[in-house]
Amino acid sequence: MTAPAPLINLTIDGVPVAVPPGTLVIEAAKQAGVLVPHYCYHPGLPVAGVCRMCLVEIEKAPKLQIACATTVTEGMVVKTQTAPAKDARQSVLEFLLINHPLDCPICDQAGECELQDFVFQEGQAGTRYAEFAKRFNPVEDFGPDVLYVPNRCILCTRCVRFMDDVAKEPVLNVSERGDRAFIGIHPEARLDHPWAGNVVDLCPVGSLLSKDFLHKARAWELDKTASICTGCSQGCNITLDTRDEVVVRVRPRPNLDVNRYFICDHGRAHYKWMNRGDRIEAPLIRRDGELKAVDWDEALAKVQTILRGASGKAVALVSPGASSEALAAAKRLLSGAGFSWTGAFQIVMGEDAPLAGVPNLALRAERAPNAKGAENLGYTRDYAQALEAAKTAAVVLVLDEPDCAVETNGALVYLGTVLGNDAACRKADVVLPIANVAEEEGTFTNRDGKDQRYYQAKPAPGMAQPAAWVLGELATALGLAEATR
Amino acid sequence: MGYPHKPHPKETVVLSQYFGDADARTYKGWVKRGGYEALAQALKMDPPAVTDVVKESGLRGRGGAGFPTGLKWTFMPKEKKKPHYLCVNADESEPGTFKDREIMRWTPHGLLEGAAIAAHAIRAEVVYIYIRGEFTEPWTIMEQALAEADAAGVFGSIKIYLHRGAGAYICGEETALMNSIEGKRGNPRIKPPFPAAAGVFGLPTTINNVETLAAVPHILKRGAAWYKGLCLSNPKSTGTKLFSVCGNVQRPGNYEVTLGFPLKDLLNDMAGGAPAGRTIKACIPGGSSVPILTREEAEDTLLDYEGVVAKGSMLGSGGVIVFDDTADMVYQIMRLTRFYAHESCAQCTQCREGTAWTTKILERILAGQGKTKDLDLLLDLSENMTGKTICVLSDSCAAPVVSGIKKFRGEFEAYLAGKRQPVMVA
């Protein structure tokens, strides 16, 4: 390996920073703790330099420079808070606002709007554009989940550049010229690329809106939780936005190694099941041929009795969406209790949908967030064989596979979030309610072997507990060492 | 100018020698007049030697910026690792400018020859001549001339293509022009990278104006010293330049004079001054993008790059727009800003919104609805539109507003005070 090039030293608002050669001033400023206001710049897109918001003063430069297109040089002195720089940015805000409707009270972006934020930060209170009408264009339906509200558009072109250079499906453009300009869509195209939803996140204002999230919540009502997408095995980092303990939106969380700044539309829409109302809310045990609700002590005692009273083969049929902690605990429980253990999972398959402009980023055909984690722990993909083995096993443990077509002569313990109608798990001896991914903390291993943590976004319903906790309690009760982590 | 009138005795006829002479348009006719001799001479020379001659001549870009042409050519990579391109800016759209049109109409081979010499000097194998879309007649003439010259094989290994614009003023900006050639929207690019490093198709490119290149064969044939000697004032401004005079004059048209020529003589002698019974009030000396001069300033101006700057304006493209005492300066300035508002590419915020806003305020003033604060607002907007955008379209819109308010404030105030009949602006 060649030695990295020496760092470039510069000063931003008096703060010295050292950054690699080729770094843009706007990025170097972040290191100095300075956010230079900007609209068109986005680290995941090619530089456009058009909004002119990030004008800063650079010593020895004859005029103000845009921080997003200026590369650092040794000894550079950047000043973002001088009068000329502030005046220039204030004038850009004024220009942007003359045609921007002040409809923040009904705009979904309010509260997370960069125009709102920077006007609040350094804009002026009044307008000098009084008496002239603002530009008006009707709302357009761009695609399955995207609405375009041209009146709010500040023509930063992030959406155009995303479709051109990242999705590589150039269906958007800037149409017309001057102040008549708007974002146009190819007349025969729809914004239905599998990654098109990112334009909504990229839009710094409320011009591109998600139909799914339309008028669902105000930004300030949302709680945000770091999570991992369960849509496929890519392991995109996401934020779960919850309002009153309901997941209402999924947004990408930047991770340059996994998903950069983006998530696909499949992942974006893959949250409604997290809010299901038909959840198992209490432990159930079979009594007189029917499942009856009991408390945890009784249910756990029942499972202990089953495990202590059986020997021989045990089979675990698990979801590849279960956390590595739960999968490890299940394995430890069954093997620790002395069974000859097999574990297997099945994967739902779908279409592959790569994001052309980013290497190694795609909606993967394997719709399983933790298949790699399960494999690492010794679970196999040979689900058919495991189902066969289950028939003669002494104990079968099903982990959150509600539609699992299991048949067994042994005892059936089901840990799950829901009970399917007519499903085999309704025949279980014990049903233990568990939390879903939004309700617990855990780890997934993505297809490239990266372990990634997700966090609890909302409480589990009723008496449901994380599967790892349930299995750990059982192991402790059985006296297995290191049963809980 | 030679067309449609005979040259004025005070003109120095070089580029316009064959204006009006249809035979010079043909390949045979051009060769008969000594055409393509300079190219043959250049092709025998080492490319840097050609550049040196042009450098020595003092020739400067005639498109508006006045950058030394020979120096620009030296910016091309010394070591040729990639294909080089020459772009010819024939997208002459600056209001008040119509010199390149006449060069292409009457001496198409002169342009082709100059372009081929330049291509040889910068070691470009391909030349794109980007012709303004509205130039239907020049287009046809250029097409025919290129076909004849190609058939004669005068360009050697250099391939010349004509590219037709589609009617956007901004495509005359050099980097927008390159985007347009590439088939993209004609948006100016951020510089750096400069064209010599990454121009058309991302490859080293030099871009020159039609008039600049048309002068090159003359320089090669008659020598750098001859061209350098064509100078009436500042030694940094050499050679002849075509001035397109239009507006309130008796004989509008193109006039070719040696740089340093008095603007007063151009206006009064050649163009015949204001129409009978009127007097000249103001003049824009270099195309609509430069500050306006009052008559007093104009009569004291020498037409070279430095001389016009000394009077607070710029030589620009040499499009001289003349206003007489009947002209309504507020209306004229509104027409200019409306043009820029229409032509703004919409990339930069200040330009997209500022050009339109400026126009609306001027329209309001003309309609008798102006407010006392409007002049200060216009000046402040102009300040905010100057020096802050990718290209200079925004600055160009601000220049006539600022100079107009400064020099003709009384006309604005008359509207504001209700002393002038409001003008309904469609």
Q: Any residues with CB less than 8 A from the CB of A286 and at least 6 apart, and which?
A: A292, A428, A429, A430
Report chain B's mean pLDDT, rounded to a whole number: 96
Q: Do B346 and A48 count as a contact with CB atoms less than 8 A apart?
A: no
What's the CATH fold of domain B240-324?
Answer: Ubiquitin-like (UB roll) (3.10.20)
Asked if the model's pLDDT at residue A422 lies above 80, the reply is no
Q: How do residues A51-107 score in pLDDT, each as one tens digit? A: 999 999 999 999 999 999 999 999 999 999 999 999 999 999 999 999 999 999 999
**pLDDT value at residue A485:** 43
CB B423 within 8 A of CB B331: yes
pLDDT band of A161, cuts 50, 70, 90: very high
> What would the pLDDT profile of B44-68 be if each residue is shown by its tens digit?
999 999 999 999 999 999 999 999 9
For residues A161 and A37, give the distance between their C-alpha atoms in angstroms, rounded to a whole number: 20
DSSP state of A349: B
Chain B residues with beta carbon closer than 8 angstroms to that of A53: 349
Q: What is the DSSP string of A366-419?
A: B--TTHHHHHHTT-BS-HHHHHHHHHH-SEEEEES-TT-----SSEEEEEES--
Angle of helix B108-121 relative to helix B136-152, nearest 10 degrees, comes to 60
Residues of A in contact with B395 (CB under 8 A): none
Residues A128-149: tens digit of each pLDDT: 998 899 999 999 999 999 999 9
How many angstroms from the chain centroid is the CA of residue B63? Answer: 4
Among the partner residues B346, B347, B377, nearest to A128 by beta-carbon distance: B377
The reported pLDDT for the residue numbered B1 is: 54
Contact (CB<8Å) A53/B349: yes
Cβ proximity of A378 and A316 under 8 Å: no
| Kind plus residue range of the DSSP H or E element containing A39 | none
**pLDDT tens digits for range B75-120:** 999 999 999 999 999 999 999 999 999 999 999 999 999 999 999 9
pTM: 0.95
Domain boundaries, chain A: 8-91, 131-221, 284-477
Question: Residue with structure tokens 């495991």?
Answer: A386
In chain B, CATH 3.40.50.11540 sits at 22-229
Average pLDDT of the residues in A321-344: 96
Residue B231 has a CB neighbour count (10 Å cut-off) of 17
Asked if A179 lies within 8 A of B346 by C-beta distance, the reply is yes
Closest approach of A240 to chain B, Cα-based (Å): 34
Per the document, the length of chain A is: 485
Instruction: Measure the CA–CA gap between B86 and B101, rounded to whole angstroms.
Output: 20
Those residues with Cβ within 8 angstroms of residue A398's Cβ, 6 or more apart along the chain or in another chain? A316, A317, A318, A404, A406, A412, A413, A414, A415, A416, A425, A428
Asked whether the predicted pLDDT for residue A425 surpasses 90, the reply is no
Question: Given a cut of 50, is residue A483 above it in pLDDT?
Answer: no
pLDDT score, position A484: 42
Residue A230 near residue A182 (C-beta atoms within 8 A):
no
Rounded CA-CA distance A36/A79 in Å is 10
Average pLDDT over residues A151-178: 97
CB atoms near residue B215 (< 10 Å): 27
DSSP character for A162? I
Report pLDDT for B32.
97
Domain with CATH 1.20.1440.230 in chain B: 329-416
Evaluated on CA atoms B128, B133, B138, B139, the torsion sign reads positive
List of residues 6+ apart from B181 with CB closer than 8 A = B87, B128, B130, B163, B200
Q: Which chain A residues are closer than 8 Å to B185 by Cβ? A: 173-174
| Residue whose pair of structure tokens reads 């050697």 in the numeric block | B156
- Chain A interface mutation, best of B180, B351, B353, highest count of A Cβ atoms under 10 Å: B353
- Residue A329: exposed, middle, or buried by beta-carbon count in 10 A (0-12, 13-18, 19+)? buried
Rounded distance between C-alpha atoms, residue B358 and residue B311, angstroms: 25
Residue B397, both tokens:
């819109």
pLDDT, tens only, A183-193? 999 999 999 99
φ and ψ at residue A172, rounded to 5 degrees: -105, 155
Q: Which pLDDT value is given to residue B2?
A: 60
Whole-number percent of chain A with pLDDT over 90: 94
Q: Are B87 and B209 in contact (CB under 8 A)?
A: no
What is the share, in percent, of chain B residues with pLDDT greater than 90?
97
Which residues, other chains included, contact B277 with Cβ-Cβ below 8 Å and sequence gap of 6+?
none
Query: CA separation (Å) from A453 to A110, A269, A444, A460, B341?
Result: 30, 21, 7, 18, 53
Nearest chain A residue to B374 by CA distance is A128
Please confirm whether the linkage preceding B4 is cis (ω < 30° from 0).
yes
Q: How far apart are alpha carbons A441 and A457 in whole angstroms?
A: 9
Burial of A482 (C-beta count, 10 Å sphere; 0-12/13-18/19+): exposed
Distance (Å) from the alpha carbon of B393 to chain A's nearest alpha carbon: 11
Dihedral pair phi/psi, residue A369, rounded to 5°: -70, -25
The sheet carrying A237-243 orders its strands as: A223-228, A237-243, A246-252
B177, two tokens = 């022009």
Q: Percentage of residues in chain A with pLDDT exceeding 70?
A: 99
Name the residue with tokens 């909302």: A458
Are the beta carbons of B119 and B82 closer than 8 angstroms? Answer: no
- Asked if the Cβ–Cβ distance from A178 to B389 is below 8 Å, we say no
Please report residues of A whose CB lies closer than 8 A to that of B350.
Answer: 52, 91-92, 95
CA distance A178 to chain B (A): 5
* A381-390: b (≥16 Cβ within 10 Å) or e: bebeebbebb
Asked if residue A482 has pLDDT above 70, the reply is no
CA distances to A80, B115, B128 from B83, rounded to whole Å, are 41, 17, 13
Q: Which chain B residues are within 8 Å of A87, Cβ to Cβ?
A: 384
3-state secondary structure of A91: helix
Name the least confident of A403-417, B3-17, B187-201, B230-244.
B3-17
Task: Name which of A163, A262, A181 is nearest A172 in CA terms.
Answer: A163
Q: How high is the mean pLDDT of chain A?
A: 95
**Integer Cα distance of B205 and B73 in angstroms:** 9
Find out whether A230 and A242 touch, Cβ atoms under 8 Å: no
Distances from the Cα of B251 to the Cαs of B1, B295, B328, in angstroms? 11, 18, 21
Cα–Cα distance for residue pair A191/A208, rounded to 1 Å: 11
In angstroms, what CA-CA distances link A408 with A291, B5, B20, B210? Answer: 18, 107, 102, 88
Q: What DSSP string describes B7-48?
A: PPTT---STTTTTT-GGGGSHHHHHHTTTTHHHHHHHTS-HH
Do A69 and B190 lie within an 8 Å CB cutoff?
Answer: yes
Looking at domain A284-477, does it have CATH number 3.40.50.150?
no
Which CATH number is correct for B329-416, 3.20.20.450, 1.10.132.10, 1.20.1440.230, 3.30.1130.10?
A: 1.20.1440.230
For residue B18, give the amino acid letter: Y
Class of domain A131-221: alpha beta
A270-286: average pLDDT: 96
- Please report residues of A whose CB lies closer than 8 A to that of B377: 128
Q: Touching check for B191 and chain A: CB below 8 Å?
A: no
Contact A279/A296 with Cβ under 8 angstroms? no
CATH, domain range B22-229: 3.40.50.11540
Looking at this protein, which amino acid is placed at residue A478?
A: L
CA distance A68 to A63: 15
Question: Contact, A312 vs A359, CB < 8 A?
Answer: no
Q: Which residue in this structure is represented by tokens 């299991």?
A: A406
CATH entry 3.10.20.740 includes domain A8-91? yes
In a 3-state reduction of DSSP, which class is residue A116?
Answer: helix
Query: In terms of residues, how long is chain B?
Result: 426
Query: Is the distance from CB of A283 to CB of A431 less than 8 angstroms?
Result: yes
**Rounded to whole angstroms, how far apart are CA atoms A278 and A401?**
15
Q: Euclidean distance between the first and final Cα of chain A, in Å?
A: 39
Amino acid at site A412: L
Closest CA to A327 of A378, A403, A281, A392: A378
Q: Do B357 and A98 touch (CB under 8 A)?
A: yes
Best B185, B345, B352 member to test A by mutation, with max A CBs in 10 Å, is B352
At residue A420, the pLDDT reads 82
DSSP string covering B201-229: GGS-EEEEEHHHHHHHHHHHHH-HHHHHH
Q: Which residue of B has its CA nearest to A56?
A: B388
Q: Among positive and negative, which fits the CA dihedral B364, B368, B371, B373?
A: positive
Q: For the segment A195-246, what is each residue's pLDDT rounded down to a tens digit?
A: 999 999 999 999 999 999 999 999 999 999 999 999 999 999 999 999 999 9
For residue range A104-113, what is the model confidence (pLDDT) as tens digits? Answer: 999 999 999 9
Residue pointed to by tokens 């041209």: A150
* Chain A CB within 8 Å of residue B393 CB: no
